[in-house]
Amino acid sequence: MKYKFYIVDVFSPAQFAGNQLAVLPEASGISPEGMQKIAREFNFAETAFVLLPADPAHTCRVRIFTPNAELPFAGHPTIGTACVLAMGGHCGPGDTFSLTLEEGVGPVAVDVERRAEGWWGELTLTRGVEQPDFAPNNRDIAAVLSLQSDDVVEAFFASAGLPFCFVQLASSEAVDRAVIDRTAWTIHLGQAWSSNVFFFSGELRDGAGLYARMCAPAKGIEEDPATGSACAALVGVAMSRAEGSSGALSLSVVQGAAMGRRSEIHASARKTGGKVTSISVSGATAYTATGEIEVGSAWLDR
């Protein structure tokens, strides 16, 4: 059976930058095993499959797969899928849309609009961040990244739906110099609260620009050009640390530059009554290609 797919580049207004994403906008009938096989075939960081929603008030259900595993939530597939549905006419005519995507973390709201430079999407989570009361050792994390201990400013765990080990480094040069040591990664992060490593330079303050990279070896992602779910957690952490019981904070993140796939991610958070109440991540999506994939009967629901 043939299924239509789109390939888009997320967190970039132009083709051949940002984070590649394959989206099957009408994926009903494909088994979970088939979805995993298709994601491995595309071999992008993630592939998204659009299904009928459980709640008819919602736009659709979306399942997200890396080459190795299904994810409950991810930023660039959420924004990219919403933009694909808009650009492909699946939301009807118009230039602005408000969608609700059912994902493993629950309903995710995404606003999509057509701008002069192309399509732009913003997802919003009405939740705070989860942080354990322990943190990785700086020396261990330096070994994971093949760096010196004084390159590491701070390391901590956090999640806004997908957990990460965050590492603040002393400079953008250290970010570029970092290389995952698989032995050290297995020892120190292989069984940790999160084995996904998001390392960045820059300060966690309002209006700051960060320079980042992300590696998730356990999920088959040697390096990710853009990680919206990590930026969601990071801006949530920054907001929770900010002075005052209420307010707003924003960050801009450049990622994927060293890979030749520069991504620009915008993240913001709000705090009320001392608690983070909403987190948003936004960016552009560029259309690249459309095609069909043949899915054999072995990979269809029976």
Write out the residue range of the structural domain in which residue 266 sits. 138-282
- What is d(CA 156, CA 176) in angstroms, rounded to the nearest whole number? 20
Shared domain for 19 and 118, answered yes or no, is: yes
Decide: 9 and 286 in contact? Cβ < 8 Å: yes
Question: What domain count does the chain have?
Answer: 2
The answer to the question of residue 197 being in a domain is yes
**Parallel, antiparallel or unpaired: strands 106-115 and 96-103:** antiparallel
Sequence-ordered strand ranges (E) for 163-300: 163-169, 197-201, 208-216, 221-224, 247-255, 263-272, 275-294
CA distances from 295 to 2, 27, 29 (A): 6, 10, 10
Shared domain for 290 and 269, answered yes or no, is: no
* Token pair 């330079």: residue: 201
The answer to the question of residue 274 being in a domain is yes
The answer to the question of residue 132 being in a domain is no
Shared domain for 92 and 112, answered yes or no, is: yes
**Residue 184 sits in a domain of what CATH number?**
3.10.310.10
Shared domain for 227 and 257, answered yes or no, is: yes
* DSSP bridge partners of 294: 2
**pTM assigned to the model:** 0.95
Shared domain for 46 and 81, answered yes or no, is: yes
Shared domain for 171 and 227, answered yes or no, is: yes
The answer to the question of residue 43 being in a domain is yes
Shared domain for 118 and 150, answered yes or no, is: no
The answer to the question of residue 128 being in a domain is no
The DSSP string of 264-276 is EEEEEEEEETTEE
Shared domain for 115 and 181, answered yes or no, is: no
3-state secondary structure (DSSP) of residue 141: helix
Exactly one of 33, 46, 70, 122 is catalytic; name it.
46
The answer to the question of residue 130 being in a domain is no
Shared domain for 142 and 119, answered yes or no, is: no
The verdict on whether 46 is a catalytic residue reads yes
Q: Which pLDDT tens digits describe the chain residue by residue (302 residues)?
A: 999 999 999 999 999 999 999 999 999 999 999 999 999 999 999 999 999 999 999 999 999 999 999 999 999 999 999 999 999 999 999 999 999 999 999 999 999 999 988 899 999 999 889 999 999 999 999 999 999 999 999 999 999 999 999 999 999 999 999 999 999 999 999 999 999 999 999 999 999 999 999 999 999 999 999 999 999 999 999 999 999 999 999 999 999 999 999 999 999 999 999 999 999 999 999 999 999 999 999 999 97
Shared domain for 142 and 277, answered yes or no, is: yes
